Amino acid sequence: MPPPLGKAADSSLPLRFDNQVARESLVGLANNNGNGSNAPPLRDQITLDLGPLGSATYVRDLSGPQPRVLRGAIGVGLSNGEFAPMPAQGVAANINQGKLDVDAWDDVLTRATAAEPATRSAGAAAAPAGQAMAQDYLPTTLALRARELTLQGRTLHNVVAGALREGTTWRANLDATELNGYLEYRQPGSPEFSNGRLFARLSRVNMPQSDVTQVEELLNEQPGNLPALDIVVDDFELRGKRLGRVEMEAQNRGGEGVLREWRLSKFNITAPEAAFTASGNWAVLNAAAAGPRSAERRTVLSFKLDIRDSGDLLARLGMANVVRRGKGRMEGQVGWIGAPFSPDYRSMTGQINLNVESGQFLKADPGLAKLLGVLSLQSLPRRLTLDFRDVFRNGFSFDFMRGDVTIERGIAKTNNMQMKGVNAAVLMEGSADIDKETQDLHVVVVPEINALSASLVATAINPVVGLSSFLAQMILRGPLIAATTKEFHIHGSWEDPQVTELPRRSVPKAGADGVGKQPAAAPSSEEKP
């Protein structure tokens, strides 16, 4: 048995059991004067006393073929002077525990109320009858206090809760260190929710790293037993970062075993700075060919991020003073091996489109913002001529930043990333290893020296053509642009990017071979930022 009833086989607990005719029946018989036709229903009272651990008292109706609980009171872990009052109907429980594992007790009670195999084979109607009898002894109202409470694989601290049970559905108002609000839990077995359902409307949730690990372990170990979820949290904090309002709906769908799919129909996050909407699923890879022990599951999410202020959004996520302002969107689809709440960068694949306007990269430590620090081009001013230094003196201000990114096994690639500033444009292609935090980028800085260059850099790069061909065409149309354009190779880690200035492109003669190709040449210089 789980605590507080758990004990070693060689230890003992005080136990007292009383069974007597209920006082109301005795009084009824005394007032009946022996008139059998008007005899009161026969009722008894049973008491189970476990000393300091707790006690339970029930009043039962014995007039039918099976005893039926009319009312009861359960007290567990109560101090002197505390008690569980006997209600007029139903079973009331008052519990005060240091540690309480609801999952363990749910497993015990589920097995206790389930029909035996012989009973199930004899008749399907016997099981519900036995379950109903056992349910009679369980609390219908609950007052709970616990320093630690384990529920659905997660441990809550300093819990105070009031709960009401109707059949197999529990409704509770709960306050704990980690969350506050209303919960409704429907136990497994209903036709609509075979694995149960958790409905929650919470004012706050705080999920530190330890809780994230617990949830991930639960998801990986018991994906087929997860209940349906309908959860709204007004203030959600994850790993110390306040994300805003979260709405989530998910269901177990599909077949049995490895064929079962956990479908995330809604996953929305709303904050003053941005709105994130997503949907997806979590299912076994190659389920048709998977064996009974194949547990490799893949998460796929389709998402859209509408950005109102990219700088404030990054600050909320722990990357302050990286970008100022900026509005736009980012959308796409990503997938990885593992649970929905634990992205695995090494197995991640997907496609992302980015389009942000009217922002500014600030002069911040590249290590703080990781790759964003590289994209801000803070490593470049030392490699630029004096005429370019004003472009980056206070960070790079951009009219827009746009492009497409593909991800394959954790390697993000782009061939059309483009930033348009007031005095210059930045064009970029290359790759970044998200897991190892390294990059290999070809960066081009084009000055806005006339209307022609302005129109060229404002034109979106054709991802089919790529940056090199785009540059060759641009140079042919504007030789002056070629003379002032700077190209760089950025490689190494995000924390310590290495910058190499590439040789200037020459303007090919009309009709000459190699038009549109980047000339092969050794780097002219290299310097750490």
* Residue 513 falls inside a structural domain: yes
Per DSSP, which regions of 15-140 are E strands?
A: 16-21, 43-49, 54-61, 68-76, 90-101
Length of the chain in terms of residues written: 529
Query: What is the C-alpha separation between 388 and 394, in angstroms, rounded?
Result: 12
Closest CA to 337 of 275, 402, 269, 286: 286
* 196 and 226 fall within a common domain: yes
pLDDT at position 132, please?
62
* 375 and 430 fall within a common domain: yes
* 264 and 350 fall within a common domain: no
Residue 299 CB partners (closer than 8 Å, separation 6+): 280, 281, 282, 335, 336, 337, 338, 339, 340, 343
* 291 and 362 fall within a common domain: no
* 316 and 458 fall within a common domain: no
* 266 and 352 fall within a common domain: no
* Residue 504 falls inside a structural domain: yes
Query: What is the C-alpha separation between 328 and 353, in angstroms, rounded?
Result: 11
Residue-wise burial string across 47-63, b where 16 or more C-beta atoms lie within 10 A, e elsewhere:
eeeeeebbbbbbbbbee
What value, to the nearest 5°, has the Cα angle with vertex 324 and ends 319 and 329?
Answer: 85
pLDDT at position 1, please?
75
Closest CA to 236 of 155, 316, 344, 338: 316
Distances (CA, A) of 15 to 52, 81, 112: 10, 21, 21
Residue 412, both tokens: 């993000």
* Residue 316 falls inside a structural domain: yes
* 234 and 326 fall within a common domain: yes
pLDDT at position 148, please?
94
* Residue 333 falls inside a structural domain: yes
* 200 and 320 fall within a common domain: yes
- How many domains, the chain? 2
Looking at the DSSP bridge assignments, the partners of residue 232 are: 201, 247
* 333 and 364 fall within a common domain: no
* 352 and 495 fall within a common domain: yes
Query: What is the C-alpha separation between 103 and 52, in angstroms, rounded?
Result: 24
Q: Are 387 and 424 in contact (CB under 8 A)?
A: no
Domain boundary residue among 314, 340, 366? 340
CA-based Rg of the chain, rounded to a whole angstrom? 34
Q: Are 72 and 54 in contact (CB under 8 A)?
A: no
Per the listing, tokens 């009898």 go with: 133
Closest CA to 288 of 263, 262, 258, 261: 258
Q: Return the axis-axis angle of helices 102-113 and 126-136, rounded to nearest 10°.
A: 130
pLDDT at position 341, please?
74
* Residue 64 falls inside a structural domain: no
| Enclosing H/E stretch for 174 | strand 169-175
pLDDT at position 56, please?
94
Kindly tell me the burial class for residue 347, based on how many C-beta atoms sit within 10 Å of its own C-beta (0-12, 13-18, 19 or more): middle
Amino acid at 375: L
pLDDT at position 381, please?
45
Domain boundary residue among 301, 324, 340? 340
Strands 197-207, 228-238: pairing kind: parallel
* Residue 123 falls inside a structural domain: no
Query: What is the C-alpha separation between 172 and 165, in angstroms, rounded?
Result: 9
Domain boundary residue among 275, 306, 340? 340
DSSP-H helix ranges across 155-290: 209-221
* 303 and 381 fall within a common domain: no
* Residue 449 falls inside a structural domain: yes
Query: What is the C-alpha separation between 162 and 158, in angstroms, rounded?
Result: 14
* Residue 84 falls inside a structural domain: no
The range of the structural domain enclosing residue 529 comes to 344-529
* 295 and 352 fall within a common domain: no
pLDDT at position 116, please?
45
Residues of the chain with pLDDT under 50: 115-127, 287-294, 366-371, 373-374, 379, 381-391, 510-529
Distances (CA, A) of 17 to 48, 109, 247: 5, 21, 49
Q: Are 447 and 483 in contact (CB under 8 A)?
A: no
What value, to the nearest 5°, has the Cα angle with vertex 210 and ends 184 and 111?
Answer: 45
Looking at the DSSP bridge assignments, the partners of residue 304 are: 277, 331
Residue 63, both tokens: 């007039």
Closest CA to 518 of 427, 455, 449, 432: 427
Query: What is the C-alpha separation between 168 and 128, in angstroms, rounded?
Result: 12
Amino acid at 193: F
Q: Cα dihedral angle (326, 235, 345, 278), rounded to 10 degrees?
A: -70
